[in-house]
Amino acid sequence: MELNYKTAEKVLHAAKEKALLMNIPVSIAVVDTGGHLIALARLDSVYGVIDFALKKARTAAMFGVNSDIMGGIISETGVHGYGMLNSNGGLLTIAGGVVLQDKAGKIIGAIGSSGGTPEQDKEIAEAGAQAIA
């Protein structure tokens, strides 16, 4: 399965519903494996978190692991982590970026949520990812 707009919209809708249920005003970004934006929702969140949602999603897509896991990996690299954090326009390695996989387990993109706590953002993004699991 490729991540097309129809699939991205399904992911976005599930994450949006979770955010509304939690009453968290977030921005949610869905990207393909190249980190290119396919779908975006801004639920009355502040403007700045759009970039955060997109960076979390791109981080997960680029490295093939959730953004918080990548944060743990980078924190262990010491000074060498600087280059990774600042590659490709900057990464965001806190919770809220979740890898999207097709039913066979192949990574097809990622979703990022920002506007809540890191734990809330992760929960919202995971709800989106589960829509296609």
pLDDT digits (tens, 9 = 90+) for 118-129: 999 999 999 999
Q: Is the dihedral of CA 72, 78, 83, 89 positive or negative?
A: positive
Cut 0.85: pTM above it: yes
Residues 42-91 pLDDT 10s: 998 777 789 899 999 998 998 898 888 877 766 666 655 555 555 666 66
- Window from 13-22, 66-75, 83-92, 95-104 with minimum mean pLDDT: 83-92
Q: In whole angstroms, what is the distance from residue 57 CA to residue 11 CA?
A: 13
